[in-house]
Amino acid sequence: MADNATKPLRIAIAGLGTVGAGVIRLLDTNGALIAARAGRAIEVVAVSARDRGKDRGVDIARFAWEDDMIALARRDDVDVVVELVGGSDGPALALSRAALSGGKGLVTANKAMIAHHGLELAEMAEAANAALKFEAAVAGGIPVIKGLREGTSANVITKVYGILNGTCNYILSEMEATGADFAAVLAEAQRLGYAEADPAFDIEGVDAGQKLSILAAIGFGTRIDFPGVRISGITAVRAADIAQADALGFVIRLIGEADVEETSQGPRLLQRVRPCLVAKGHPLSAVDGPTNAVVAEGNFSGRLLFQGPGAGDGPTASAVAADLIDIARDEVGAPFSIPVANLAALPPAEPGHRTERTYLRFMVKDRPGVLAELTAAMRDGDVSIESLIQQGRSSGGGEVMVAMVTHEGREANVTRALGLLEGSGSLTAAPLVLPILPR
């Protein structure tokens, strides 16, 4: 530490999009404050990106330029590489491997790369006694990784859950506010820049699943298992579901949740992303727009809520800079709280025996006997119906919506009841299943 006290931390940035430019802007604006808090200056010495001549709103002429990102990672005057290229593989992964194999620290905002290759990179970092930091990979500027890794390090974390994708949260809360259907709100989100031109990664729940797998690994001391995340997106949610949820005292949010279950065969890890009904008054019900929120429940800390902007150049740059400050202070530590060799490899949990209340929506043909068919399937599946709502009959004998809320019961029972309806000529679309998040 003493040897580094008067030396600046020299960094190289790969990727000069909105976040990369934001990091440079933040270091320029708050450089003196950062140096005071870090104990030494943090200086950009080299950069790399696709287009050297692009106007990014910051002066990059003062930094050395490398066309080859691997050469950037191998520069002798660089202590830490900041990877802001993106993508789970390809150039980002090659850059990261080059940096860590050379003993340099690595800071990344790349949740896809960490979800797929985080254990490999962590092993490389530990072997080289180099820092691997990825606060910006989950929930933008919210210090949730630091909160789990450090703030709750004395706790057994019993559950981690929350709203992990700002695009989905914007779409659902706008549908709630305007009454518009999914397609119209998605188009508006794309126009405003909240959704990509190809939004599948977000709206199908993949982005949230990657973030959840990272949080679960840190919170529970387990090996990352992104393939083990059960994922359902929001594309099937209709404006009518939003309205019906509101009438019942709920909002709909895409929720990622994870916990470890003790079974007779040993512990099992449950990770899933799915749209849920959230009761008005629950801390997550008021989270709207492109905001993220994460709840962690510790056995001594109790319920903790982390909330804030989940993306954007300023919040993400802030998280990157926070990681750099930790490295400047020589705070390395195990990337996933404990050494990779000690992370538990847990099989995925089977949730069928778990109990919950469920919202079920059916689009059915407007004809006699359909309601009896639905309720018979619920009866035969041992699903108890708490309430049933049927919309008024259609004018042309087309389709109508039937919504049910079940009493608390086993998830497997709902699955069995829906299986009895498979292939039914009465259904005009696949049923929508939305669990009700416990308070």
Catalytic annotation, residues:
211
Q: Where are the alpha helices (DSSP H) in 102-231?
A: 111-128, 144-146, 166-178, 182-192, 200-203, 206-220
Helix (H) or strand (E) holding 360: strand 358-365
CA distance 65 to 46: 6
What is each CA distance from 359 to 239, 264, 404, 429, in whole angstroms? 15, 31, 6, 16
Tokens read off for 264: 């007779």
Which of 102, 105, 12 has the alpha carbon at shortest distance from 63? 12
- Other Cβ atoms less than 10 A from the Cβ of 303: the count is 11
d(CA 229, CA 142): 22
Pairwise CA distance, residues 79 & 44, whole Å: 10
Q: Token pair of 80, please?
A: 């830490």
For residues 349 and 268, the answer to whether their CB atoms sit within 8 Å is yes
- Which structure tokens are listed for 38? 């870090």
Neighbouring C-alpha atoms within 13 Å toward the C-beta of 234? 34
CB 294 within 8 A of CB 164: yes
- Encoding tokens for residue 199? 């939004």
- Alpha-helical segments (H) within 129-199: 144-146, 166-178, 182-192
Which residues is 13 bridged to in the sheet? 47, 82
- Beta bridge pairs of residue 328: none
Tokens representing 41 are 């200056």
Give residues with Cβ within 8 angstroms of 353, minimum separation 6.
410, 411, 412
Rg of the Cα atoms in the chain: 24
Q: Which residues contact 384 (CB under 8 A, 6 or more apart)?
A: 378, 406, 407, 409
* Measured distance CA(152)–CA(298) in Å, rounded: 7
- Which among 162, 375, 360 has a CA at the least distance from the CA of 244? 360
